[in-house]
Amino acid sequence: MDEVRLLADGFDPGFELIRFAATHPRAGGIASFLGQVREGDGVEALELRHYPPMTLPGMQALARSVRQRWALDGLMLVHRYGLLTPGQPIVLVAAAARHRRDAFAAADYAMDHLKSESWFWKRERTADGWRWIEPREQDFRDKARW
């Protein structure tokens, strides 16, 4: 069973992982990735905007793509939007599988695709004001390895 959620409000990553693990007791391994607003570099806030008719359907299509590639017991994609501050979680990806390699690969693939095919517009605020954040070349190279 897959969980794909797009949230305006915060979430507790620890609670989400415990709940996810409890719903997949037959999995031999659960791999996860948590992305959060990084502190430092003068960043005061991060804003994520999205286009609703594309974002959730895009995330659901990504989940189907992950499922076609690896034998998983479960997959969770949780992504925030709105105004966030340093330390707040942005994205949580978790994959449950019989074997750890499938779980690791599935979570890695999902995150690489979320970063480079993102249906979000990101900007950060510093003391100098707001600036838009574009995907980095490394994000596209990471996705290309798949």
pLDDT digits (tens, 9 = 90+) for 49-63: 999 899 999 999 999
Residue 61 lies in a domain: yes
CA-wise closest residue to 94 among 16, 11, 42: 16
Domain count, the chain: 1
CA-wise closest residue to 74 among 16, 4, 2, 6: 2
CATH number at residue 124: 3.90.1170.40
Contacts 24+ apart (CB under 8 A), 65-69: 65/113, 66/95, 66/106, 66/109, 66/110, 67/2, 69/105, 69/106, 69/109
Q: How far is CA 63 from CA 31, 87, 88, 128, in A?
A: 15, 26, 24, 38
pLDDT digits (tens, 9 = 90+) for 18-69: 999 999 999 999 999 999 999 988 899 999 999 989 999 999 999 999 999 9
Residue 112 lies in a domain: yes
Residue 145 lies in a domain: no
Residue 12 lies in a domain: yes
Residue 142 lies in a domain: no
Residue 130 has a pLDDT of 97
Instruction: Quote the domain boundaries for residue 115.
Output: 2-136
